[in-house]
A and B are shown apart, each in its own frame.
Chain A
Amino acid sequence: MPKRGAPPLDADLLQGTLDLLILQSLLLGPAHGHTIAHVIEHRSDEVLQVEHGSLYPALHRLQNRGWISSEWGSSENNRKARFYRLTAAGRKQLLRQTGRWEQLVAAVNRVLRPSRGRA
């Protein structure tokens, strides 16, 4: 549940954003889908709501591209769970996408600021 007054954003809104967030959250170590979703929400102070429904197809897609790998294991409380791990290719991809993301943010900011200044 979002704590702030601002409405939560759908992480899937921006094409490729979800992929980036997943890769980033796996940087710390292997995790299963549920954890990934909550890590993303938690780290964004729950501004970014991960739609769980689109999380799994995205994981599947990243795995098909060879950026993450998966294996079945036991979770903290001894439940069977599928753990995802960042591959070397995924690490490279993360760096590249982060760079591109920053460029995008900077560009958008450049566009937005002057208009704000006028207002």
Chain B
Amino acid sequence: MIWKRFFKRRARREEAAAELEAHLEREAAENMERGMARDEAKRAAHIKLGNTTRILSEISEQDSFGGLETLWHDLRYGARMLVKQRGFALVSLITLALGVGANTAIFTVVDALLIRPLPFPNANRVVVAWERRMPDGERQNVTSPANFLQWQRENTVFERMAAIFNDSSILSGGDIPEQIATASVTPDFFSILGVNAAIGRVFVPGQDENATANPEAVLGFEVWQRHFASSATVLGTKITLDNKPYTVVGVMPRGFDFFIKQQSFSHKKPEIWVTMHFSAETRASHGRYLQTVGLLRPEVTPAQAQSAMIALASRIEAQDPASMKNWSVNLVPLRMQLTGDISGGLRLLLAAVGLVLLIACANVATLNLARASARRHEIAIRIALGASAKRVVRQVLTESCLLALMGGAAGLCLGCACLSLLKSIAPANLLPPESMSLDVHVFAFAAVVSIACGLLFGIIPAIDAVRVAPREPLQEGAGTVSAGKRRGFARQMLVTAEVAIALVLLTGASLLIRSFHRLTTVDPGFDPQNVLTAWVQFPNARYQKDEEKSQFFARLLDAIRALPGVRSASADGFLPFAGIIAATGVQVEGRPVLPISQLPTVDVSIVEPGFFETLGIPIISGRSFNRSEAFAASGSVVISQSMAQQLWPNESPIGKRVTIYMKRENKPSTVIGIVGDVKHAGLAGAVRPTAYWSYPELGFQFMSLVIRTQGDPRGLIPALRDTVLRVDRNQPIADVVPMETLLSMSVARTRFATRVMAAFASIAFLLAIVGIYGLVSYDVEQRTREIGIRMALGAQRTSLIGQMLKRGMGLAAVGVGLGITASLGLTRLLTSILYETRPNDPLIYLLDSMGLLALAFLAGYVAVRRISSIEPTAVLRRD
């Protein structure tokens, strides 16, 4: 029934209008019969009937669906208002879009990395068990097979435990061999995580004892696609890793990866998992290289597990003080382990995001407050013309909603754009590869916060205006000299707060940028330009004798040196910035003999001849290794400058003898040269004393090639691969990257965080400036009449401009003051991530404050400039 009325509502409205018209005529006729004049009779009839528009709207409201009709009217009206006030609408939209969009993108990243559950069913019960060096050594140290097995046997808190060793192996059998990241895991590994294979099966727990004869492998999804053409027949076949056969029993689902970086031998995510079996000899080994994970029993908390394991560790320590003296245990929940090194940075970003959201809300509020005062007049007129208070408030609410929804939509678009930008500038391996789309919950959060803010500050002034309407504002008219002082206070507070928050973000970002700049201008100790690096690792079985290994590298390097475009080539056991480093104690000959734990420690690496020359590490005195030393251990050592200073502060070390405890039998080595220091552990790290042996001294299975080229080192990559295969057709190379890339990758996360912080600071800065502009220009608009009168009375334009500006700048200055105070407190939190930058660097505070004030001044000036176009006569005539 109501439908019929709804569709006939226009006709019905006309009918009602005609009816009222007839009523008026009749009433007027009666009035005239009583002797009134025609005009007066009509007027009296009108007064008696009341406001026809209102009556008609009351009637037609009955014919429409609840508020649907009204809603449509309000929307149309709102849209018209927004188009009319383009400036306000645009600034609100931008503010909402920035606030909602940027925030959502960052929230999504944080959510994906920190909040979302790990993709392992048992994730919340999995802890990583480390050895801990007491009293204040490494807190997360790998453990030994002997210790792991004892933990596994004697603990009371884990359902099961597994050991992991991340390795790198050669997968052969295809056209070209491939160096691939692998992990040896004990059979319980997959069942601890609670994951299963997509095809086939994972390792069967408890199979350890009898499976030694038949090693098994589980493939990662990508290597299955890449190397085995996604063939299901791969199950049961044999693959060859480092010349050893493994039976493929399963393929993991897409996206499965598990990699703990801390003290991992390989720094890449494993793609193939193989079963780890301990021989009788390794079972007793105290060499530390295993990462271990455990599945807590359901009723055991991590804290209980920690104390139970500490008790077990002290028992083990008491049993075997020789190997376990001062070693305890440290349990780390899996999530904390996997996000530990980035959560600090992400929290920082999250805080920045929160501040930007605050500023956005403050801006929306300011804008709405400013506009609401301007609308008091409009609202008053509408109420005088017969609009009901409810109706007016509802209309304003609709309008605010409209704007908020548009802002939300714009925010969604911006958020998607931001997210793809974040993905593109994020360092490799930081973000989960796929499955990261804008999070709905996250978007809803940001949208609700800023929209609620917009609505709140849109609606409160409207209610306020309705309360006093229509009398007050109409009486004030355009004639008020300075209106709404009381309401102005809230705006001023908000803008001041905005400026303060913006300054906090600005100083934070400036500090990070300065720190990053300091970091990138650090001299790494060598020349990274035009150097190509590559990782060569051969299986143990391939070259049994040390001479064979030495000869392989000598032949390989000779072949590379002969390539066109190569200026020099050499190799190093531990490349700078690549992550791994070996350290040990050293005993200088002729000094008091100390136990190993009290000796000074140095990093130890092995190099091929020409290494220092190739990387451009200066030889300060003595000589570097010659060609003959590449084939046989000669007992010579080249030391870094810092090692020379540490061990021989007042004498020349050349010719001195020092024992480096790195081998089974350690004989003293003779110092033959001193070279410059290298920032081995990364640009931000301290220089560490380093000893270089020639390759045969340790004869690693792996070396990193370093090749100085004439032009872009990338051009050499195909020729290099061919050369390696020509020297040994079963030998792949991996991680072929220019040295400069390694260098920039080592600071990638810092760069990422710095860029994002800078973006936030810019947004905050922008919003604060918009806030000041809005405040001042609104101020000018409100006081146009006052200004007109003053000018008519002879005030100078310039002095008026100055006065108006002063108000805006006064607020900005208060904001800057508050901002500096807050920054001094808050930036102290940055201390740990800043490199050679003091968090209270006065220069940065000065520059940022000046910059903010200057732009605030500019924004204020642009807003105030309008005064110069005010014509006093026009203003005064307007009333």
Contacts and interface: CB of A to CB of B under 8 A. Distances in A.
Interface of A: 32-34, 51-54, 56-57, 60-61, 64, 75, 79-82
B55 interface: yes
Given A79-B25, A82-B22, 6 more contacts: A33-B23, A51-B50, A53-B55, A64-B62, A79-B26, A80-B22
Contacts of B55: 53-54, 56-57
A22 B581 CA distance: 99
Contacts of B22: 32, 34, 79-82
B426 interface: no
Contacts of B58: 57
Contact of B59 (A52, A60, A75, A80): A60
Interface residues of A, dominant DSSP: helix
A72 to B, nearest CB: 8
B279 to A, nearest CB: 93
A87 to B, nearest CB: 15
A57 B50 contact: no
Contacts of A82: 15, 19, 22
The 10 closest A-B pairs by CB, nearest first: A53-B50, A57-B58, A52-B49, A34-B26, A60-B59, A82-B19, A34-B23, A57-B59, A53-B55, A33-B23
A115 B305 CA distance: 80
Interface in B44-66: 48-51, 54-55, 58-59, 62
Contacts of B62: 57, 60-61, 64
A27 to B, nearest CB: 21
A67 to B, nearest CB: 14
Interface in B6-35: 15-16, 18-20, 22-23, 25-27
B759 to A, nearest CB: 57
Contact of B49 (A53, A57, A64, A81): A53
Contacts of A81: 19, 22, 26
Given A53-B49, A79-B26, A33 B19 contact: yes
B51 A60 contact: no
Nearest to B58: A57
Contacts of A61: 62
A80 B51 CA distance: 22
B40 to A, nearest CB: 15
Contacts of B267: none
B5 interface: yes
Contacts of B23: 33-34, 52, 56
A68 to B, nearest CB: 14
A55 to B, nearest CB: 9
Contacts of B49: 52-53
Contacts of B25: 79
A8 to B, nearest CB: 12
A82 B26 CA distance: 12
A64 B5 contact: yes
A24 to B, nearest CB: 20
Interface residues of B, dominant DSSP: helix
B16 A60 contact: yes
A52 B27 CA distance: 11
A60 B15 CA distance: 11
B48 A56 contact: no
A32 B25 CA distance: 13
12 contacts: A33-B23, A34-B22, A34-B23, A51-B50, A52-B23, A53-B49, A57-B59, A60-B59, A64-B5, A79-B22, A79-B26, A80-B18
A82 B15 CA distance: 9
A34 B27 contact: yes
Contacts of A64: 5, 62
Interface of B: 5, 15-16, 18-20, 22-23, 25-27, 48-51, 54-55, 58-59, 62
Given A60-B62, A61-B62, A64-B62, A53 B16 contact: no
Contacts of A80: 18, 22
B50 A52 contact: yes
B48 A52 contact: yes
A32 B23 CA distance: 9
A80 B5 CA distance: 23
A56 B26 CA distance: 15
Contacts of A79: 22, 25-26
A56 B23 CA distance: 10
B208 to A, nearest CB: 84
A34 B59 CA distance: 17
A53 B15 CA distance: 16
B59 A53 contact: no
A90 B285 CA distance: 102
B660 to A, nearest CB: 101
A54 B27 CA distance: 16
A99 B873 CA distance: 70
B5 A56 contact: no
Contacts of B19: 33, 56, 81-82
B59 A56 contact: yes
A13 B23 CA distance: 22
A75 B50 CA distance: 23
Nearest to A37: B23
A118 B528 CA distance: 108
Contacts of A56: 16, 19-20, 23, 55, 59
Contacts of B54: 53
A82 B20 CA distance: 10
A29 to B, nearest CB: 18
Contacts of A60: 16, 59, 62
Contacts of B5: 64
A63 B26 CA distance: 22
B295 to A, nearest CB: 70
Contacts of A34: 22-23, 26-27
A74 to B, nearest CB: 11
A52 B19 CA distance: 12
A24 B49 CA distance: 22
A6 B233 CA distance: 104
A33 to B, nearest CB: 5
A104 B20 CA distance: 33
Nearest to A64: B62
**Which has the most chain B C-beta neighbours within 10 Å: A60, A64, A80, A81?**
A60
Contacts of B15: 82
B9 to A, nearest CB: 12
A43 to B, nearest CB: 17
**Which has the most chain B C-beta neighbours within 10 Å: A34, A61, A75?**
A34
Contacts of B59: 56-57, 60
B165 to A, nearest CB: 82
Nearest to A38: B30
B634 to A, nearest CB: 109
Nearest to A72: B15
Nearest to A1: B34
A60 B22 CA distance: 16
A82 B22 CA distance: 9
A42 to B, nearest CB: 13
**Which has the most chain A C-beta neighbours within 10 Å: B19, B55, B58?**
B19
Contacts of B50: 51-54
Nearest to A66: B1
A61 B433 CA distance: 63
B27 A53 contact: no
B587 to A, nearest CB: 103
A73 to B, nearest CB: 11
Nearest to A35: B26
Nearest to B5: A64
A54 B16 CA distance: 13
Contacts of A32: 22
Nearest to A61: B62
Nearest to A80: B22
Contacts of A53: 49-51, 54-55
